[in-house]
Structure 1
Amino acid sequence: MSGTYRAIQLQRFAESFRAATEIVTLDLTDPAPGQVLVRNHYCGINGIFDTQIARNAVDYVKIGLPTLTGVEAIGVIVAVGEGVADFAVGDAVVTTRFPGGYREWNLADQGHFVKVPELAPEWLALASTGVSAAMALEYIGAVEDGETVAISAAAGGLGHFMVQLAAQRGCHVVAVCGGSDKAAFARDLGAARVIDYRSESVTDILAVEYPDKLDVAIDTVSGTIFDAFLKNVAPHGRVVVGGAAADLEGRPEIVTQPRIAHSLYYKGASVRGFMNGLLTEQWPAARERVFSAYSSGDLKVRFDDRKFTGLEGIFDGIERLLSGQSIGKVIVDLRP
C-alpha cells in the first residue's frame, strides 16, 4: 500500500487540544503480520480526555511527543497482514484504543479492533460510549432492577445511554441536565424526574424529594452535583465517579466540610471510581448486551445536531462538546 494520509498529531503540551496539535501527513504502509489496515469513516469525540491529553494530565497514559491522537473510530478494513484470521478485507470495524481515532487511516494490531454489523456511526457510538455506559451502570454501579438511579450530564453521549439502560430495568431515573431541550430529551428517554440545573437547585430538589434514596448515583461533573449525590445516597447505595468536567482546568475546588466517611459509614454506602480503560476484560460481555438492545430496538442512539467533517472538524467538535451545548454523541465524518 503506497501513498499518504493525514492525522492529528500532538506536538507540544498546551492548555487546549487545538493549541497542542497539528495536522500532519504520514506515509501509508502495508500491514505487518497480525495487523490490519483500516480506512476510518467516522470518529467519536472525547473532548475532556483530549484536553487533558493536550495538557499531559492523564495519569494512566504516558505521553511521548510527538504522538497521534483520538480514541474512537469506525471504518472498513482495506488490507490484512499475515496471520490475521478473524478479519477480512471489507469488514466494518471499530477501535476504541488510543491513538486510533483522529486519523484518516489506522494501521494497528488486530486486537485493537472489533467487528460490527455494518459501517454506520451508530455502531461506533454503541461500541464505545454505549459499552462505557453499561460498565458504569451495571459493573461499577451494580444496579438492580427497580432502584432509584441519579445520572448527571444525562443528555450527553454517555448519559443518554445510561438513562435508557436504567429505565429499561424498571429503575426510577433522576436525570440532571442543563436547559429545556436537554430536559425534554431526558424525559423522552425514560427519566422519571428531570432536574434542570440551570433553573433548579439540584441540592434542594434531592434533599426534599430523594433524601437518602439514591441507590445508584453516577456523576461525571463533580462539584456541587457530586456533593448532592453523596449527601442523598441511600443505605448501601453506590456513588460512581465517572469524570470531573467541572474540574477540567486542573484546579480542583478545595472544600471544607465533614470527611466523606461521615456520609458513607452509617449507611454502609460507597463511592466507586469508574475508569473504563481498566475494565477491558469486561468489555465483550457489555458489548454483547448493548448491541443486542440496539438490534431489538430497546436502545436508541442520538447524535448531536451539529455536523462536523474532516480532520479540521475534530477541533470544532471538541469545542462543541466542551461548551456544554451538545445533546447526544458528538461525531465527525472523516470520509473524503
Structure 2
Amino acid sequence: MSSLLLARNGRRAISVIGGGRRGTDALSGVHPVTRRFIIDMSYSAHFMDFKGSSIPSTMKKLVVTKLSPNFREAVSMQTVTVPTPGDADLLVRNRYVGINASDINFSAGRYDPSLKPPFDAGFEGIGEVVGLGLSASSRYTIGDIVAYFGSGAFAEYTVVPAKESVPVPAVKPEFLTLLVSGATAYIALKRLGDLAEGETVLVTAAAGGTGQFAVQFAKQAGCHVIGTCSSNEKAGFLKSLGCNRPINYTSEDLAKTLKKEYPKGIDVVYESVGGSVLELAVNRLANKGRLIVIGFISGYQTASGIPPFTGGTLPVKLLQKSASIRGFFLPHFLSDYREALGSMMQMFAKGKLVCEVDCGDLAQGGRFVGLESVFRAVDYMYAGKNLGKVVVEVAPPSVSNSKL
C-alpha cells in the first residue's frame, strides 16, 4: 500500500498514536517487524509529531453521560484512546479551555434534544497542533497554535476541522475570551443593538466573561455605560474599562438607582441574568429601547432552565414605548464570526481591548489546573465569584521542541 494511501486512510492505518504497543496488523503480508507506528511514510513527523509532542496512546476527556443541569451529576471523566485526525482535521493538544454558563445547558440536553448521552462536553479551547490530515497540511503544520469554538473541548486532545480553527500568535488564555464571550458581545451589539453615540447602555453581569466586552464595545460606540456587578472589586474593574456607572447590587438597590439616576430610561440593555433582572430591565426601557437577551443564567441550574418571568403585560409595555426585545444565540450568527474575531484580535494586539481572564488563583482549592478542575471552575462561576472569563489550564507548557 502506498504511503499516500496510508495518509488518506489514516483513521484505519494508525492503530496506535505514539505508543509502544503492537496492535494486530491490518495489512496482510506485511511483516510486523517492519511496521511503523505512526504513518508509514518518510515524512510522517509532518502529520503526527510523535517525538516532538510525546503523544500518548490514551487521554482524559469529560463526557456527558446523563442529562442534568447539575454539571457534576451529568459529566464524568473518562480515559479513551487519543483520536486520529481525518484528512481535513487537526489534532490539538489543549493547553487552555474556556468555561461558559451554557456548559450546563449543553449537559442538560437543552440545545439539541435529539442528542443523547454519551457525548463530549466543552465549547472552546486553545493549544498546539500535534497531528493533522493530508488536506489540513496545506494550511497548518505541526507546532502551529490554534484556537477553536466547537464541541468536545474538555479533553486533553481534541480533533478539530482545520476550516473551523483560528490561528493565533501565542498560547494565551486571553484569546479564549474572544471565541464565545467576546464574539457574543461584538455581534449582538453590532447586529441587534443599533448603538448610537450618546445613548445609554445597561450591561448586566458586566464583570463576567461576556459582560466585560459589552461594556467596552458600548464605550467604543460613544455610549454612556451602566454595569451591574456583585462586589466593590468588580465595580473597580468596571471603572477601569470605562464603565460610567458601576452598580454593586449587593449594596445598592438596582431598581431605585436606575429610576432615580436615569429617569428617561435605558436605550439598550445587554441582558444575561433573566428573571427579576429581566423584568426590571423591561420596565426601565426608554422609548424605542432595545433589550438583547443573550442568556438567563439565574435559571440554568433549575429543572426547566428558565427563571420565573411575569410577562402578562409585556406587549403593552413594549407597545407604549415602541420598544423591542431581541434574542441572540451565537450559532445563528456564524456568518459574522470571522469578521468579529479578526476585529477583536486586532484590537487586542493594539492594546485597545481588555480580555480579563480568571484562572481561579483566588478560588478555594487554588488555580484551575488539569482537566479535573473543570468541575470546580463551573461551580466557581455559578457562585458568581469570577472576575472576567473563567479559564482552565488543561496542561502545562510542553518541555519538548514544540513551539509552545
TM category, shorter:
over 0.9
Post-superposition CA distance 1:48-93 (Å, at most 9, x none): 312222322x234642211111001001111210212222222111
Pair 1:309–1:106, CA change in 2 (3 A): same
Give how far 1:317 is off: 0.4
Inter-partner Cα distance in structure 2 for 1:8 and 1:214: 42
1:298 corresponding residue in structure 2: 352
1:86 corresponding residue in structure 2: 139
Segment drifting more, 135-144 vs 152-161: 135-144
1:164 corresponding residue in structure 2: 216
- Out of 315, 331, 334, which is 1:261 matched to? 315
2:52 corresponding residue in structure 1: none
Inter-partner Cα distance in structure 2 for 1:91 and 1:289: 21
- AA in 2 matched with 1:9: V
2:168 corresponding residue in structure 1: 116
- Out of 76, 79, 87, which is 1:22 matched to? 76
- SS state at 1:285 partner: helix
**Does 2:204 align with 1:139?**
no
**Does 2:149 align with 1:96?**
yes
Gaps of 5+ in 1: none
1:325 corresponding residue in structure 2: 385
CA contact (8 A) 1:137 1:143 kept: yes
Inter-partner Cα distance in structure 1 for 2:310 and 2:202: 25
- Out of 238, 245, 251, which is 1:186 matched to? 238
1:234 corresponding residue in structure 2: 286
Post-superposition CA distance 1:284-311 (Å, at most 9, x none): 1111221121111111111126120111
CA contact (8 A) 1:148 1:214 kept: yes
- Out of 46, 53, 59, which is 2:106 matched to? 53
Segment drifting more, 144-153 vs 254-263: 254-263
TM-score (norm 1): 0.94
Inter-partner Cα distance in structure 2 for 1:305 and 1:282: 29
Pair 1:181–1:62, CA change in 2 (3 A): farther
CA contact (8 A) 1:240 1:272 kept: yes
Q: Could you say what the CA RMSD is over the residues aligned between the two structures, in angstroms?
A: 1.7
- SS state at 2:135 partner: coil
- AA in 1 matched with 2:150: R
Identity %: 31
Inter-partner Cα distance in structure 2 for 1:102 and 1:257: 37
CA contact (8 A) 2:298 2:307 kept: no
Inter-partner Cα distance in structure 1 for 2:172 and 2:335: 25
Inter-partner Cα distance in structure 2 for 1:15 and 1:286: 30
CA contact (8 A) 1:203 1:224 kept: no
Pair 1:305–1:91, CA change in 2 (3 A): closer
Inter-partner Cα distance in structure 1 for 2:73 and 2:179: 29
1:214 corresponding residue in structure 2: 266
| Aligned residue pair count | 333
- Out of 283, 296, 299, which is 1:247 matched to? 299
Inter-partner Cα distance in structure 2 for 1:29 and 1:253: 39
Question: Which of 1 and 2 has greater Rg?
Answer: 2
Gaps of 5+ in 2: 1-16, 19-56, 361-366, 397-404
Give how far 1:258 is off: 4.7
Inter-partner Cα distance in structure 2 for 1:182 and 1:265: 35
Inter-partner Cα distance in structure 2 for 1:102 and 1:28: 13
- AA in 2 matched with 1:219: E
CA contact (8 A) 2:65 2:118 kept: yes
1:31 corresponding residue in structure 2: 85
Pair 1:14–1:126, CA change in 2 (3 A): closer
**Does 2:399 align with 1:334?**
no
Pair 1:313–1:92, CA change in 2 (3 A): same
- Out of 150, 153, 156, which is 2:205 matched to? 153
TM-score (norm 2): 0.79
Inter-partner Cα distance in structure 2 for 1:266 and 1:186: 33
Pair 1:311–1:211, CA change in 2 (3 A): same
Post-superposition CA distance 1:33-55 (Å, at most 9, x none): 11111111000011x31222232
Within a 5 Å distance, the mapping from 1:281-292 to structure 2 comes to 281-292=335-346
Give how far 1:12 is off: 1.5
CA contact (8 A) 1:305 1:327 kept: no
- SS state at 2:186 partner: helix
**Does 2:204 align with 1:126?**
no
Inter-partner Cα distance in structure 2 for 1:168 and 1:29: 43
Inter-partner Cα distance in structure 2 for 1:179 and 1:243: 21
